[in-house]
């Protein structure tokens, strides 16, 4: 089954295909993302700034459309929604007056905004899921991992980066440990320890306090309201269903 979170239509097609399968979903890991270093601003097919559309909008739509199957799993055990974020959210702001970053843009500005948005939506979802505590919503920083994040940079820079940074960065196998813990660790070891951090875990699998901006209930609500309007979702997230 193909899924491209940079395209809302692709997300909807995936959800429609899953509906035909109908299996419960125990864990939904929102990991796919981009960091377009060294390239000009671009947009998704839906017209969103590329980082916002790929790292945030597509994932939120996916969660909303697959919620019935998370609820099915939660009838028998806990179900988990996980957003793989980044500590770079700490340098980010949600630019409500220019979410598309059309007036001022840099790759870091866009990436950090999208990662902060993930933490804010997790904060909001944790509040929404209080009515169904068996749905556990978490975000995490995987650590500094040697991946293809520099693929948009010139090839000589990519080679130099890998040559040098392999001695300092985590391998992908090491970098997935916090994600695996969030997905499979004992809920009693995770909750309520992450309550004070808004569901945020560090790369060492321990609760980690996010930035002050990520703790704003007002910003979480404002972003959520905007997101629902953009995605044409019901104002009550838990009422959203695949049509």
Look at residue 241 in the predicted model and tell me its pLDDT: 36
Closest CA to 124 of 14, 223, 55, 42: 223
Closest to 18 (Cα-Cα) out of 59, 62, 73: 62
Give the residue from 140, 3, 111 showing the smallest Cα distance to 50: 111
CA dist 7 to 10, 29, 53, 72, 240, Å? 5, 17, 8, 26, 19
Please tell me the predicted confidence (pLDDT) of residue 243: 36
Quick: pLDDT tens for 108-131.
Answer: 999 999 999 999 999 999 998 888
Residue 137 forms beta bridges with which residues? 81
6's tokens: 């940079």
Instruction: Look up 111 and say whether it is catalytic.
Output: yes
d(CA 237, CA 241) in angstroms, rounded, equals 9
pLDDT in tens, 189-241: 888 889 899 999 998 889 999 999 999 999 999 999 999 999 999 866 544 43
Token pair, residue 181, equals 């813990």
Task: Give strand ranges (E) for the chain.
Answer: 27-30, 79-84, 135-140, 200-201
Q: Catalytic: which of 48, 56, 111, 200?
A: 111
pLDDT band at residue 242 under the 50/70/90 scheme:
very low
d(C-alpha 75, C-alpha 51), whole Å: 34
| Inter-helix orientation angle 58-74/8-21, to 10° | 20
* Residue 64 scores a pLDDT above 70: yes
**pLDDT interval class at 133 (50, 70, 90):** confident
158 has pLDDT over 90 = no
């Amino acid at each position: 089954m193909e899924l491209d979170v940079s395209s809302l239509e692709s997300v909807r097609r995936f959800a429609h295909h899953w509906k035909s399968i109908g299996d419960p979903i125990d864990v939904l890991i929102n990991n796919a993302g981009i960091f377009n270093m060294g390239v000009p601003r671009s947009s998704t097919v839906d017209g969103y700034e590329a980082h916002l559309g790929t790292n945030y909008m597509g994932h939120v739509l996916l969660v909303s459309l697959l919620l019935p199957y998370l609820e099915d799993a939660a009838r028998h055990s806990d179900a988990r929604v996980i957003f793989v974020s980044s500590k770079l959210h700490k340098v980010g702001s949600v630019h409500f007056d220019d979410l598309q970053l059309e007036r001022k843009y840099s790759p870091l500005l866009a990436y950090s905004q999208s990662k902060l948005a993930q933490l804010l939506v997790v904060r909001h979802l944790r509040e929404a899921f209080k009515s169904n505590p068996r749905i556990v919503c978490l975000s995490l920083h995987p650590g500094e991992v040697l991946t293809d994040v520099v693929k948009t940079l010139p090839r000589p820079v990519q080679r130099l980066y890998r040559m040098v940074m392999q001695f300092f960065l985590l391998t992908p196998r090491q970098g997935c440990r916090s994600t695996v813990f969030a997905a499979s660790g004992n809920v009693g070891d995770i909750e309520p320890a992450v309550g004070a951090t808004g569901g945020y875990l560090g790369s060492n699998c321990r609760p980690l306090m996010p930035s002050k901006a990520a703790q704003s209930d007002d910003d979480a609500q404002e972003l959520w309201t905007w997101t629902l309007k953009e995605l044409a979702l019901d104002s009550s997230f838990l009422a959203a269903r695949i049509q």
